[in-house]
Structure 1
Amino acid sequence: MTNAGSPTARTQVPSPGAGTLSPDELNALVQRQFPDYAACRVTDASGTHLLMEADGARLRTRPGGTISGPEQAGLVDLAAFLLVNARLGRPTPMALTTSLQISYLNRPRPGLLRTHARMAKFGRRLCVVLAELRDEAGDLAASATVTYSVPPTPAGQGTG
Structure 2
Amino acid sequence: MTARDAWSAAPLPAVVVPEAVSAAFAARVRARVEQAGYTRHALVDRGSYERSSSVDEPELLDVLTGVAAEVTGRSLALAEAHALRLQAGDYLLVRHDRVHDDRPVQLVLDLSPAVVPGAEVHYRHRGQVFFAVPSAPGSLAVVERGPTVMCNHTYVSKRHVGASVVRLIVLLRST
Report the TM range for the smaller structure's normalisation. 0.3 to 0.5
* TM-score for the superposition, normalised by structure 1: 0.35
The TM-score with structure 2 as length reference comes to 0.33
Higher RCO, 1 vs 2 (CA within 8 Å, ≥6 residues apart) = 2
The structure whose Rg is larger is 1
